[in-house]
Amino acid sequence: MKSGQPNFFAGAYLERRAEAREDPHWRSAALADAATLYLISQGTAQLVTTGAAPHIAFLTGAAPFVKAADPAAMTLLGWFQDARCVLVELPAIVAAPAPPDSAFQELRPLTATLPADEAALLAYARALSIWHARHLYCGVCGSRTVPVSAGHCLRCSRESCAQDYFPRLDPAIIVLVSDGERALLGRQAGWPAGRYSTIAGFVEPGESLEDALLREVFEETGVTVTGMRYDSSQPWPFPSSIMLGFYASAVAGAAVRVGSELEEVRWVSREQVRSGEVLAPPTQSISWRLISGWLDGSQA
């Protein structure tokens, strides 16, 4: 991946137009606009076309799913390919037969086949759906929350409380550590045989990104980082992370120690990755971006 190119799930795929969320009549405007696109989700599954080359199965305002939707289950996503785009969330507990030539599917297995802009839109919608589902009640008083700002804020329905909640992200660092000629990679027990990836972990309260990087690398591998440099970030909607990618250096020949979260940690050469002896993560991941930059020597 070229330096400066957006990671998968990122980039200028959408005009968010946040000011439109404050229009109290935004739903009426959307329904009155025949060009409005409706993206349908149920739980974490989303409506896509079936076939070898899937796409988002956008519906119009005349579709039964849209006409029967609870207004509170509609969220203005923005403008996608110059058309207003609205997320419609169906109740997860009610079976919803999909229209012909479409199906409700999970995003993760579709990432290798969906167009990049559509995958990014589904990632955005998925993150909002998960946030809505997990914040049905006020964390202060326990009352129900109601959507405001076109679904981008949840407000406690109890007038004396009226606490506002906004979508939250879980920041995580992900880092390629190199000792010059080798990269430090690890694997989890449930991964395919031979698959390795860069070191990653969540940022804890009271930590800077730099502090988290130093801690995570040492906890999981026993290696002490001697320098670091930020590369790029990637939204990761499984379920609500933002991956913050770094390159870091370590003393040549540093010994490794496997922590509790990984099955194995090892130093690997470029040739071991290029030959397939060590399997790299999927190309849609920021981990692959970091590894590929190290492989070609442009970012190491």
Residue 31 identity:
L
Residue 3 clears pLDDT 70, i.e. is over it: no
Residue 12 maps to a domain: no
Residue 300 clears pLDDT 80, i.e. is over it: no
Residue 60 · residue 40 · CB < 8 Å: no
Q: What is the CATH number of the domain that holds 186?
A: 3.90.79.10
pLDDT of residue 281: 95
* Structural domain span for residue 277: 170-290
Kindly provide the residue ranges of all beta strands, DSSP E only, lying in the chain, ordered along the sequence.
Answer: 37-42, 45-49, 74-80, 83-90, 102-106, 145-148, 153-156, 164-165, 170-178, 182-187, 199-202, 225-236, 241-250, 264-269
pLDDT bin (cut points 50, 70, 90) of residue 167 is very high
Residue 144 maps to a domain: no
Mean per-residue pLDDT over the chain, rounded: 95
Give the whole-angstrom CA distance, residue 260 versus residue 258: 7
Residue 159 maps to a domain: no
pLDDT bin (cut points 50, 70, 90) of residue 260 is confident
pLDDT digits (tens, 9 = 90+) for 50-94: 988 999 999 999 999 999 999 999 999 999 999 999 999 999 877
pLDDT bin (cut points 50, 70, 90) of residue 176 is very high
pLDDT of residue 291: 97
Token code pair at residue 7: 């990671």
pLDDT digits (tens, 9 = 90+) for 13-54: 999 999 999 999 999 999 999 999 999 999 999 999 998 899
- What is residue 243's DSSP assignment? E
**What would the mean pLDDT of 217-224 be, rounded to a whole number?**
96
Residue 139 maps to a domain: no
**What would the mean pLDDT of 150-169 be, rounded to a whole number?**
97
Count Cβ atoms below 10 Å from residue 74 Cβ, excluding itself.
20
Give the whole-angstrom CA distance, residue 181 versus residue 269: 6
Element (H, E) at 125: helix 116-134
Mark whether 175 and 130 lie in a shared domain.
no
Residue 5 maps to a domain: no
Residue 279 clears pLDDT 80, i.e. is over it: yes
Tell me the backbone φ, ψ of residue 287, rounded to 5 degrees. -60, -45
pLDDT of residue 299: 66
Residue 90 · residue 72 · CB < 8 Å: no
Please give the radius of gyration of the chain, using alpha carbons only, rounded to the nearest integer: 22
Numbers of helices and strands, H then E, in the chain: 6, 14
pLDDT bin (cut points 50, 70, 90) of residue 222 is very high
- Provide the domain count of the chain: 2
Residue 7 maps to a domain: no
- First CA to last CA across the chain, in angstroms? 14
pLDDT of residue 84: 98
Residue 298 maps to a domain: no
Residue 2 clears pLDDT 60, i.e. is over it: no
pLDDT digits (tens, 9 = 90+) for 93-109: 777 788 999 999 999 99
Give the whole-angstrom CA distance, residue 228 versus residue 210: 8
Residue 124 · residue 131 · CB < 8 Å: no
Residue 160 maps to a domain: no
